[in-house]
Amino acid sequence: MGVEQIKKYADPEFSRSEVLANARYIFANTDEYMDFPRPISHKIIYIGGITCDVNNANSENLSDEYKHIFDSAEDGVVLVSFGSLAKSSEMPLENKEAFIKTFEKFPKINFIWKYENENDSIGNDLPNVFKQKWLPQKEILAHPKLLAFITHGGMNSVIEAAHYGVPLIAISLFVDQHRNAKMLEYRKTTIIVPKTDITESNLVNALTTLTQGESGKEYRQKAKTLASMLSSRPMQPKERFLKYL
């Protein structure tokens, strides 16, 4: 909610600067195991992952359609989603073609692609591409055969991937997404492909590094280690939020 809406509907005297100065705590949607090391005051309470219930998001709850996608993948599955604001169906055509050519280069990997236009036939001729208008993202991330997640780097996607131990290819688009991508690149669980450099060559190189050979094993191990650290904290985000509140 914007400042003007808060003044209109809640408090005509509302001042952002006064609220921040007088706040006893500021709950931040990030996590100290993910974020850059930095000095903070005692007011900052990390609650990143508060909506990410790892124990309840079970891949066994996936529909038969998704189970078939995972079961039929020889090497594994890659999830491709750019969130709810940036739609894959509205990408420039040259970007879509770069993705399609990349998918063709990995026939043993199945790609689940969040693609919002059901009438668009792009990629329909590829047997390893499965376009979906909506995705059960947490359950997909929880599946042990998921190799990687190609994402826009939104904070919720970044946090969920970290909690489930999934390495990323981050193609950040705007605002906080650039920092989010750098944050996990620093943790060595993410490869960044700039949005201005979406080419077949760059995508193939990034996906090969992230999923194949020793480099792929290293990225997956780093991602699993980060997930283990997040799950073994003395206080989980919900508990931390309630205690401080």
User: Over the stretch 201-212, which tens digit does the pLDDT of each residue have?
Assistant: 999 999 999 999
Instruction: Check residue 243 and give its pLDDT.
Output: 95
Instruction: Check residue 53 and give its pLDDT.
Output: 72
Instruction: Check residue 83 and give its pLDDT.
Output: 83
Instruction: Check residue 17 and give its pLDDT.
Output: 86
How would you class 183 by CB atoms within 10 Å of its CB: exposed for 0-12, middle for 13-18, buried for 19 or more? buried
Residues 6 or more apart in contact with residue 148 via CB below 8 angstroms: 78, 79, 166, 167, 168, 169, 207, 210, 211
Q: What is the pLDDT confidence band of residue 55, given thresholds at 50, 70 and 90?
A: low
pLDDT exceeds 80 at position 31: yes
pLDDT (average), residues 174-187: 92
Which whole-number Å values give the CA distances from 23 to 27, 32, 41, 237, in the listed order?
10, 21, 12, 19
Instruction: Check residue 106 and give its pLDDT.
Output: 97
Cα gap 129→127, rounded to integer Å: 6
Residue with tokens 């329909």: 124
Instruction: Check residue 60 and give its pLDDT.
Output: 82
pLDDT exceeds 80 at position 56: no
Interior CA angle at 136 toward 199 and 216, to 5°? 45
Instruction: Check residue 72 and give its pLDDT.
Output: 96
Domain boundaries, the chain: 3-52+234-244, 59-231
Instruction: Check residue 87 and give its pLDDT.
Output: 85
pTM of the model: 0.89
First-to-last C-alpha distance (Å) of the chain = 21
What is the architecture, at CATH level 2, of domain 59-231?
Answer: 3-Layer(aba) Sandwich (3.40)
For the chain, percent of residues with pLDDT exceeding 70: 98
Name the average pLDDT for the chain. 92
pLDDT exceeds 70 at position 172: yes
Two structure tokens written together for 33: 């195991």
- Number of Cβ atoms within 10 Å of the Cβ of 103: 21
Q: At what angle do helices 200-211 and 93-104 cross, to 10 degrees?
A: 40
pLDDT (average), residues 176-203: 94
pLDDT exceeds 90 at position 174: no
Instruction: Check residue 1 and give its pLDDT.
Output: 59
Sign of CA dihedral 216, 222, 226, 228: positive
H or E stretch including 160? helix 155-164
Sign of CA dihedral 188, 101, 59, 179: positive
The pLDDT tens digits for 148-160 are 999 999 998 999 9
pLDDT exceeds 90 at position 219: yes
Cα gap 114→172, rounded to integer Å: 16
- Which is nearest to 72 in space by CA: 138, 130, 132? 130
Are the C-beta atoms of residues 143 and 105 closer than 8 Å to each other? no
Q: What is the pLDDT confidence band of residue 81, given thresholds at 50, 70 and 90?
A: very high
SS3 category, 192: strand
Q: What is the pLDDT confidence band of residue 58, given thresholds at 50, 70 and 90?
A: confident
The pLDDT tens digits for 125-168 are 999 999 999 999 999 999 999 999 999 999 989 999 999 999 99
pLDDT (average), residues 48-57: 77
**DSSP per residue over 208-220, as a string?**
HHHHSHHHHHHHH
Residue with tokens 């949607």: 29
